[in-house]
Amino acid sequence: MTSRETFGSRLGLLASMVGLAVGLGNVWRFPYMVGRFGGGAFILLYLVIAALVAVPALMGEWSLGRHTRRGTLGAYERAGMPWGRGVGWSLIVIVWVAVAYYTNAIWWVVFHWISQILAPFGVALDAGAILPPESGFSRTAFGLQVLLTTAVLLVQASVLLRGVQGGIEKASKVLTPLLFGTLLIVVIRSLTLPGAGEGIRWLFAFDLASLTPTVAAAALGQVVFSVGLGGTLMVTYGSYLADESDIRTDATLTVMGDTGAGLLAGLAIFPAVFAYGLEPASGPGLLFATLPRVFEAMPGGWMFGLLFFAGLSGAALLSGIAAYEVLVAGFVDSLDWTRRRAVWTVFAGSLILALPPMINLRVFVPWDLTFGSGGQTLGALIAVLTVGWVMSRAALLEQVTGGTASPTDRFLIWWLRWVVPTGVIAASVWWFSSEVLAVAAPG
């Protein structure tokens, strides 16, 4: 086994893993998915699926990473996956494209944060100016995105040049608590607004008729997306786990932290949305269009908007750093590059790949569906199949249990081999039918 840097402390490990998982997926996508799929029914199914699918799948991806001590580019080949090197390169391409457009989205958040900073000084900054137009071309939006995406990539590069403990872990120890702290403050303010109770009731109330296959499939897809499953990010971070790390406990805590962030985001957003009579099912624009209107109407709203978008900016940055690290680790592991060479190569490639989705949303949205939702679900399926059917049973038990396997642990291995892949395939079918073919799933 080759020498490899690992996380230096359990606090740093959990901060890094939770920070990676939360990102924009749970604070941006989770609330609008809750709004789109009816509130409480979606949340209930999400919680059940997070426990039954996300926790064991995360154990599997971490086991693959720690067993092989390789990131995405080398893990599948070393684990014995047929055409493993080709699989690794395919996932690297998907991640590289995703890094590029996701970096654009990070600056959408940061730009909203800057607008909140300037608001009390009478400077009215149009935060929407950075968003790509629905169609056509905006020189202002494109120019802002080029400038600010370059800046975000430079920040990510500066963190990754410092390695795992000095870069990723240190940044996560600051930014992950920042997210939860700011979310808690905004939740308290949101819950104290007149009329907030209606938003709480909508968020958690449901009837049995709402528990449909469509909602279940949507919740499953969101679990895969928000936890960071996909055979790439968590495999790479898993390769940095120390031998003594307890995969079972840490995976459970990571999913709990990720889910908690999503619930806090819902409590921060929906009571305020209902208090001001706005539309909860406003889709992806809930965060970037609806929520700023809430802060504008709220007494002292600029301060709460500043806190909210500051925490979200930090979480988005951590997910971006993790995706960037997938590429860096792959090139360092498999091409024998120095970390510096890999970091700057990824920087240059990401900046070029970021240009097309900056043009308009007719480019951005298909890229997100293809390389984000679709690519991530495909990677998750490849990972669980590799763990359940390619890795030896003994190696998997060693990683998950540390050497002493109980009947429950053996059941977990069976669950990973059969139930989790079935769940991921179900999410893939739903995504393809509803998002690509626009075919309504039966409900």
Q: Are 226 and 426 in contact (CB under 8 A)?
A: no
- How crowded is residue 348: how many other Cβ atoms within 10 Å of its Cβ? 10
Residues with Cβ < 8 Å from 284, sequence gap 6 or more? 28, 29, 32
215 half-sphere exposure, CB direction, 13 A CA radius: 23
Q: What is the pLDDT of residues 116-175, one digit of tens each?
A: 888 788 787 777 788 888 889 999 999 999 999 999 999 999 999 999 999 999 999 999
Q: Are 316 and 152 in contact (CB under 8 A)?
A: no
**Distance, C-alpha 110 to centroid of its chain:** 17
Q: Where are the domains of the chain?
A: 10-436
pLDDT at 439: 42
Q: Are 75 and 64 in contact (CB under 8 A)?
A: yes
* 10-436 under CATH 1.10.4160, yes or no: yes
Q: Give dist(CA 267, CA 427) in Å, integer.
A: 26
Model pTM score: 0.91
| Residue whose C-alpha is closest to residue 356's, from 186, 204, 149 | 149
Pull the structure tokens for residue 100: 């590029």
Q: What is the pLDDT of residues 315-370, one digit of tens each?
A: 899 999 999 999 999 999 989 999 999 999 999 999 999 999 999 988 887 887 77
Q: Percent of the chain scored above 70 by pLDDT? A: 95
Pull the structure tokens for residue 290: 């609806």
Q: Are 196 and 274 in contact (CB under 8 A)?
A: yes
